[in-house]
Amino acid sequence: MMAPQGLPPYRMAPLGMLCGLLFASCFIFCLSHQNPNKFALTNPEKSSMKESERKEAKAEEDLDPEILEVFHPTEEWQALRPGQAVPAGSHVRLNLQTGAREVKLQYEEDKFRNNLKGSKKGKRLDINTNTYTSQDLKSALAKFKEGEEMKNSKEDEARQAEVKRLFRPIEELKKAFDELNVVIETDMQIMVRLINKFNSSSSSLEEKIAALFDLEYYVHQMDNAQDLLSFGGLQVVINGLNSTEPMVKEYAAFVLGAAFSSNPKVQVEAIEGGALQKLLVILATEQPLTAKKKVLFALCSLLRHFPYAQQQFLKLGGLQVLRSLVQEKSTEVLAVRIITLLYDLVTEKMFAEEEADLTQDSSPAKLQQYRQVHLLPGLREQGWCEITAHLLALPEHAAREKVLQTLGALLATCRDRYRQDPQLNRMLGSLQDEYQALATLELQEGEDDGYFRELLASINSLLKELR
């Protein structure tokens, strides 16, 4: 068990009440807010963060994140502008001459209307499938209403009316959706449904992974991540790390990484819920690399800006776990991410000290917490001075840049170790030559403060410090 006195002060606040208030105010806000986007349908359009993570996770998911405008296909081909949503059933082609995507109606107008009439008679649109996006539904709704007026009014007028309709108060919009028997769920309802799906023993592995994948989209929002706490959903995901299925571990970590990110309340609950141990166990045992990647990501977002978690991490032997990852052949590709994490933790603590200095605050609570994180001595004892130095052998410039930064941040702690390391001196010497040449080229091309020149400068200053 964790020592409760180590918890940050905000943990002491009556959390439940706060969450309740938060939720209530969010609810009221949602109801009074005019933006229909506040009410999400079940198909997540996309998250704004971690583009590469999501691509990695599901390459086929290539929906546009900024879908705001509904496109109105006609019988003619029309060019599609960026950001426009296309109603289901439209015909899309790529115009090879212009490079533009073009769209036209695939169904005749009444066929389209009949489809919707069918749903009006009580057949539910199955919003649990990926067939409909919220935009599809809004567009379908607009079309449906428009169809009744279309006969005698000009198309332009109908469009204007339709645009107005799209910006109607959410109450009205909800009523209209009710008429169509389309169910709109709040984010909270969606999360509860996804958690139930994931937690149910009758769900298949695919269903569980899909539920986690969808959930990840919602918990990027701080409020949503905190709501996930309120009904025990976070713990269900944390327990997912114990699954015997590597895919479940992987996607549970994917959700957690997003939920922890800059969200202190969630980070605190996660530590109490045993997330840190579970993440470290996965990193320390035989697991697929893809799972370890996402688990490392979750670990990073749990530790950042949370000194109490950093203390626990050191106590649980986290540095040894990371060292094995860097040193083992199969996982050494994670080295740069690990070095980045360590660099961030070292500088975070430094900034906390500097900030306290500047504000003349004699004992800020946060600084007290950071002072108990004995990171630098741990790094030195466990050979991170040498490990970091040898990572300079990595071939990519960006990786070397990170390593150089970290060497700089560890300089005060590692100076004597660096000096005794002949390999480091040789490596710095040869990198100096390499970047000298590249910086010269850069200068010839007219770049006064180029990238290579900066790298060269940090190599030079390291060499000077080690003389």
Ligand X SMILES: *[C@@H]1O[C@H](CO)[C@@H](O)[C@H](O)[C@H]1NC(C)=O
**Contacting range for ligand X; rule: CB under 6 A; set: 66-74, 168-176, 192-200, 376-384:** 192-200
- Which position among 153, 189, 199, 203 is part of the footprint of ligand X (CB under 6 A)? 199
- Which position among 34, 160, 181, 242 is part of the footprint of ligand X (CB under 6 A)? 242
Q: In sequence order, which ranges of 58-151 are alpha helices (DSSP H)?
A: 109-120, 134-150
Task: Looking at residues 293 to 312 of the shown chain, list those that interact with ligand X (rule: CB under 6 A).
Answer: none
Across the chain, how many H-helices and E-strands are there? 24, 5
Task: Looking at residues 252 to 291 of the shown chain, list those that interact with ligand X (rule: CB under 6 A).
Answer: 281
Task: Looking at residues 421 to 460 of the shown chain, list those that interact with ligand X (rule: CB under 6 A).
Answer: none
Helix (H, G, I), strand (E, B) or coil at 74: coil
- The CA distance from 260 to 309, in Å, is 12
- Exposed, middle or buried, 241 (CB in 10 Å: 0-12/13-18/19+)? buried
85: closest CA among 67, 63, 72, 61? Answer: 67
218: closest CA among 197, 238, 192? Answer: 192
Work out how close the CB of 287 gets to ligand X at its nearest, in angstroms, rounded to a whole number.
12
- What are residue 378's phi and psi, to 5 degrees? -60, -45
The token duo for 411 is 């300089």
- Which position among 203, 221, 239, 432 is part of the footprint of ligand X (CB under 6 A)? 239
Decide: is 232 part of the binding site for ligand X (CB under 6 A).
yes
**Contacting range for ligand X; rule: CB under 6 A; set: 84-92, 231-239, 250-258, 286-294:** 231-239
Residue 176: which residues within 8 A CB-CB, separation 6 or more? 141, 145, 165, 168
Work out how close the CB of 325 gets to ligand X at its nearest, in angstroms, rounded to a whole number.
18
- Which position among 195, 212, 276, 345 is part of the footprint of ligand X (CB under 6 A)? 195
Cβ proximity to ligand X: between 41 and 252 the closer is 252
**Contacting range for ligand X; rule: CB under 6 A; set: 10-18, 94-102, 191-199, 355-363:** 191-199
Number of residues this chain uses to bind ligand X (CB under 6 A): 9
Which residues in 65-124 belong to E strands, given as ranges? 69-70, 78-79, 84-85, 90-94, 101-105
Work out how close the CB of 312 gets to ligand X at its nearest, in angstroms, rounded to a whole number.
15
**Position 113: which residue type?**
R
Cβ proximity to ligand X: between 67 and 241 the closer is 241
- What are residue 299's phi and psi, to 5 degrees? -60, -45
Decide: is 207 part of the binding site for ligand X (CB under 6 A).
no
Decide: is 359 part of the binding site for ligand X (CB under 6 A).
no
Cβ proximity to ligand X: between 316 and 466 the closer is 316
Other Cβ atoms within 10 Å of 466 Cβ, number: 16
- Residue 343: which H helix or E strand, with range? helix 335-359
Work out how close the CB of 1 gets to ligand X at its nearest, in angstroms, rounded to a whole number.
13
Cβ proximity to ligand X: between 229 and 334 the closer is 229
Cβ proximity to ligand X: between 193 and 380 the closer is 193
What is the separation, in whole angstroms, between the first and last Cα of the chain?
Answer: 48
Cβ proximity to ligand X: between 279 and 346 the closer is 279
Residues forming the site for ligand X (CB under 6 A): 195-196, 199, 232-233, 236, 239, 242, 281
